[in-house]
Amino acid sequence: MPISFRFLFLMHSKAKFVATHAWRVLPNGGLLPNEVWWRRHRVILALLGANAAAIAGLGIVNGYGIAHSVAESSLIALVAPRRK
């Protein structure tokens, strides 16, 4: 069964609508204000610390031992920059 021209036109119109709407909701780039950047940075560092603690906890629960678990999670904690 051949695809009708009307079907192709409707699909093109819908795709164009979706692409246009997606383009409008995407950020346009540029720098964040300093206050916003630092707030996001603190949240990311907190998540990184929580991740390191969770890895250590899961390692201990899974029987890898305290020393091994802390050593593994400390590798993650080391990449987090220190506060000034």
pLDDT digits over 16-27, tens only? 777 777 777 777
- The answer to whether the beta carbons of residues 76 and 55 sit under 8 Å apart is yes
For the record, the structure tokens of 33 come out as: 């204000």
Domain boundaries, the chain: 35-84
**Average pLDDT along the chain:** 82
- pTM of this prediction? 0.59
pLDDT at 55 over 70: yes
Query: Quick one: average pLDDT of 71-84?
Result: 79
